[in-house]
Chain A
Amino acid sequence: MEGKIIVVTSGKGGVGKTTVTASIGAALALQGKRVAVVDMDIGLRNLDVVMGLENRIVFNIVDLINGRCKIRQAAIKDRRINNLFLIPASQSDDKNAIKPEDMSKICEQLKKEFDFTFLDCPAGIEQGFKNAIEAADEALVVCTPEVSAVRDADRVIGLLYARSITPKLIVNRIIPKMVQKGDMLSHEDVVEVLSIDLVGLVEMDDAVVIATNTGTPLVMQKDSKAGKAFTRIGMRLDGHPDLPVEDPSSQKSLWKKLGITFSRKNRIAS
């Protein structure tokens, strides 16, 4: 059976596309799938840094497209997670170094080699975006609960629909306290405007900063809320679409729940 090509996009920069790509890729690889993550941000690569593989790059996606190497040479195997491979972007070329037709050919080959291929799309809707969506079967749109991110995500969703690609939504960097105060858009607000299927909600987590700076997989950190959310997103993509989406704003620990129960009882008693 052929694998899936999934593009991770957002329109706006800095919303967490690269972290989402690396984390979901790692989550699926840990679940036993053969996964490739491809950095499509030619000229500004950083997926290699996030995955801690920057010192092992020999070939890149431009080399692969120009026939200077084979997939097996360009795909760098992750040291910690079996079945996870990175195809890095070129740092010295620009987005025009490849064409959408080239991506179609490469993705046909990637489908045969991997169960899942995630394309980390650059910000914007220009050539880099066009290259990334050309051969995609599915799309994950990453959006933070900010008005500007929602606006850009909406634009990208329109462009994806125009290419008959049905996108799914990940709302990233939710800060529950701010949502409860009304200082941040809730995920319901975001979903209401974008009106596409929600595949995951990811809470703001300091562990993300540490993981991206040290190049360690977020999903392997057991106490990371974001890591758990990405693991669940991976499961939803891998044949468990009905797995409930946990709302970080309503999540409370057992002690907090008990505390609330006791305080209510005390109030009633008094």
Chain B
Amino acid sequence: MAYEKSDKKPEENDIPVRLKGVGDSLWVTFDPGRSPDVLKVALAKPFERLGYLAVNARVILDPCGREVAESLVKILENFLRQEFQVGQVSLPPSPRPDKAKIEKREQDTKSGWGNADGDTVIISGRVRSGQKVEAKKHLVILGDLNPGAEAISGGDIIVMGNLLGTALAGQPDNEQAVIIALDFRPTQVQIGGFVAAGVPSTPGIHPEIARVEDNCVIVDDYVKASPFKRLAWPKIR
């Protein structure tokens, strides 16, 4: 039900009023800079053509995003009600919040590690307090695990940075799992069902490895006491 087929705004081609059907309403775009009399004359033309279709119709008066005086809206509303017996007359609804903008503000969580579904997960960055990283099998963190953060894996956990939070490797019952960190100062570590807390850190920063030996979690210097050195043949973990 479009009566004036043009995408241009009214002021661009000097037509002060434009009318089109939108849903169950008549959408009237008008130039608020024109005098009420000019607008009335311009409104009368399309509404006369509508005839009885305008009776009780819902009309939206759209000033094309420009500021409009309340008095002018009232004048036009009264004119349309009296002359053409239209129903409800209103200004256009306020624009909805920009969806793209909202999504942009939340994109970090969407593209984050929470959506990783592979067996072995490699993540980069800093895992902060309150955040939890999980992997079905091995977990590699190229960054730091801060105090209050949790890393949970079914296999090994390797932290290429500071391990200051809680690391739970070999969950629920893989006692062969290991935890390796370049700076090993965790709040707590668990390997399988074995828990170790308050692991004293040796002075200086050097890579360390935690593993289960004789039903006990042992922490050793990785370079000096790596258990993998003794393996006769390389194997997949």
A residues at B contact (CB < 8 Å)? 104, 147, 150-152, 154-155, 157-159, 161-165, 193, 195
Contacts and interface: CB of A to CB of B under 8 A. Distances in A.
A155 B130 contact: yes
Interface stretch (B27-35, B100-108, B134-142): B100-108
A154 B146 contact: yes
B179 to A, nearest CB: 20
A158 B126 CA distance: 9
Interface in B92-124: 97, 104-109
Please list the 9 inter-chain residue pairs (A to B) with the smallest Cβ-Cβ separation, ordered nearest first: A158-B128, A154-B129, A155-B129, A155-B130, A164-B105, A154-B128, A162-B109, A151-B148, A151-B129
Residue with the greatest number of chain B CB neighbours at <10 A, chosen from A104, A152, A154: A154
A154 B108 contact: no
A195 B126 CA distance: 9
Interface residues of B, number: 17
Given A151-B148, A163-B108, 12 more contacts: A150-B147, A151-B147, A152-B129, A154-B146, A155-B128, A158-B128, A158-B129, A158-B130, A159-B130, A162-B106, A163-B105, A195-B144
A157 B106 contact: no
B153 to A, nearest CB: 20
B190 to A, nearest CB: 20
A159 B131 CA distance: 9
A157 B147 CA distance: 13
A154 B147 contact: yes
Given A163-B105, A163-B106, A164-B107, A193 B130 contact: no
B164 interface: yes
Contacts of B107: 164
Q: Which of B108, B126, B128, B148 has the most CB of A within 10 A?
A: B128
A209 to B, nearest CB: 30
A147 B164 CA distance: 12
Contacts of B147: 147, 150-151, 154, 193
Nearest to A159: B130
Contacts of B109: 162
Contacts of A150: 147
Contacts of B129: 151-152, 154-155, 158
A154 B105 contact: no
Which of A150, A157, A158, A165 counts the most chain B CB atoms within 10 A? A158
A39 B148 CA distance: 29
Contacts of A151: 129, 147-148
A161 B128 CA distance: 10
A152 B109 CA distance: 19
